[in-house]
Structure 1
């Protein structure tokens, strides 16, 4: 009976999370329909979606698995470039936009998952700071390789070079697809807000169901105590690879959404470098490690805040830093946590109802 009540509570919590996303979509859609939305917010709709996906997916590695990853932007980069490459070369072959974009999402997710598996298998005995350094190196290597990579195609197939366009040796009918530091151009802009919301919901379904599954409990057991988990027969390597690959594939999906919202993408440091990975980690830490809903809210607030503070110019980043500190204290200070537990909104509402009932009597 207790187990059924617990299951009902988890299911209810999941549906509240899904409902938050759907309500947010309906509100935004209403603003768009009534043309009441500002140009700033309209331009942030798709970025909000892929940042939320990145925050949720990284929380799977950092919060549920308990491993520090600093290369999440690298997985996003893999998904962005592989999907953009696919869409670019099949733009004239696959005229059905929905089909092409769906295939691009699957390809971006698959390639990112493959890199996630490779990284997790390479560092099976590493954890903590050592794992963070390896994932950081992966993100930087991927970014720098793509910046130096030239890819072209002609009647004889695909050609690769790490020098320049001339090194491709293309025929007269050839075309350059990946242009080194200039990245990929003429990408079909297939990403839309509704597609972003659907991908956010799919991400939530995958992550929340994994957390509450047998595999999720095994992953959390590995996080809490590796020795104890191994002593009861949990395959640590298997569940680490599972968490890493799923997290990486979802980051790849975010990369697909980003790439197809732009007509050109480059492996720039601000999108795929170390600072980008740290920014995603900040979403997770400030939202609450292991708290999916908190990561979503933090990603939304911290993505919108810098844009809406642009009018303050020099003071914009100062206010942003102050908000980060306040959120950190609110989420992690023991005294604040104790105060929140005794002064929760639920108890406050119950107190008001009880007070009103006493006054009526």
Structure 2
């Protein structure tokens, strides 16, 4: 493997991570399962590409516009669907994702089903890393804030949250909008990495992949989402030597984790300096206890 190939895997991992972080807020911290995030990525991708190709807007500003466009669409969808409960909201988002793809199939301004070539390749490893760092910092601070705690309360018990005065609908809307904005920026970066857009890039399988990464890493864990995005984006490429069997091994690996560790890799825990110190302290205390027991036996 040369550096160019590894760099490509890291860029794709970072793009997926942006979308996964947003979905983690919606699913892992607010408790709303969505299968429509490929649709938000498509909105962000096509809006960003339109800003740079048609209007000659700078790439960074175009990404912000793409994220804003996805968030605006999510507010419209949320207004119509967030009162739905459980599986019904999930089905509604699935329908939204497929509707966006079918609409783009028939919009000739963006190339329709044939695709849109000639998009400038602006996405590089450095700007992917910068965007991911900013996204993680924003998400961590949001989760630690009062608003984040309200979202987690809604995840644990929606009715009880409403009784104690939390505006459940408002916080669901905020969570969905932020989640969609992350997906929109991810879509814009994907468009300017591949240099080509086609509606089939945003099929249901893309939404399913993002949801699998969130569950694989651990619901309610930002660290888990980061690890899951890197592992599950890299794994098919690492297994490429198996040719047609690589996706079988990929699927078996995901199923194995789901069976052996249903709560995901991190299970709601976060990797932090404090937690690492606690772990080291715990291991040291176990070592001291073992030494003491061994000395007493003598």
Please give the range of the TM-score, normalised by the shorter of the 2 chains. Answer: 0.7 to 0.9
Q: Taking CA–CA contacts closer than 8 Å with sequence separation of 6 or more, which of the two structures ends up with the larger relative contact order? A: 2
Shift of 1:354: 6.2
1:107 aligns with 2:37: no
In 2: Cα distance, 1:219 partner to 1:328 partner: 25
Is the alpha carbon distance of 1:232 and 1:135 closer, same or farther for their aligned partners in structure 2, counting shifts above 3 Å? same
Q: Which moved more, 1:252-261 or 1:351-360?
A: 351-360
How many aligned positions are there? 283
Shift of 1:102: 1.4
Shift of 1:315: 2.5
Match of 2:11 among 31, 42, 46: 46
Kept after mapping to 1: 8 A contact 2:218/2:263: no
In 1: Cα distance, 2:160 partner to 2:286 partner: 43
Equivalent position of 2:271 in the other structure: none
Deviations 1:189-238 (A, max 9, x none): 11111110111111111211111111111111222222211112211111
1:351 aligns with 2:286: yes
Equivalent position of 2:101 in the other structure: 143
Equivalent position of 1:292 in the other structure: 222
In 2: Cα distance, 1:101 partner to 1:196 partner: 12
1:306 aligns with 2:236: yes
1:246 aligns with 2:204: no
Deviations 1:118-150 (A, max 9, x none): 111111320211001100000000011011102
In 2: Cα distance, 1:333 partner to 1:235 partner: 28
Kept after mapping to 2: 8 A contact 1:143/1:267: yes
Equivalent position of 1:89 in the other structure: 54
1:65 aligns with 2:23: no
**Cα RMSD for the two superposed structures:** 2.4
Equivalent position of 2:80 in the other structure: 122
In 2: Cα distance, 1:225 partner to 1:279 partner: 27
SS at match of 2:132: helix
In 2: Cα distance, 1:133 partner to 1:195 partner: 34
TM normalised by structure 2 equals 0.88
In 2: Cα distance, 1:140 partner to 1:349 partner: 53
In 2: Cα distance, 1:333 partner to 1:145 partner: 37
Kept after mapping to 2: 8 A contact 1:85/1:184: no
1:273 aligns with 2:231: no
Is the alpha carbon distance of 1:320 and 1:248 closer, same or farther for their aligned partners in structure 2, counting shifts above 3 Å? same
In 1: Cα distance, 2:120 partner to 2:4 partner: 22
Kept after mapping to 2: 8 A contact 1:229/1:236: yes
Equivalent position of 1:6 in the other structure: none
Match of 1:223 among 151, 155, 161: 155
Q: Which runs of 5+ in 2 are unaligned?
A: 268-277
In 1: Cα distance, 2:116 partner to 2:43 partner: 13
In 2: Cα distance, 1:266 partner to 1:333 partner: 35
Equivalent position of 1:19 in the other structure: none
TM normalised by structure 1 equals 0.73
1:255 aligns with 2:187: yes
Q: Which runs of 5+ in 1 are unaligned?
A: 1-35, 95-99, 152-177, 338-343
Shift of 1:352: 4.0
Kept after mapping to 1: 8 A contact 2:7/2:125: no
Equivalent position of 1:324 in the other structure: 254
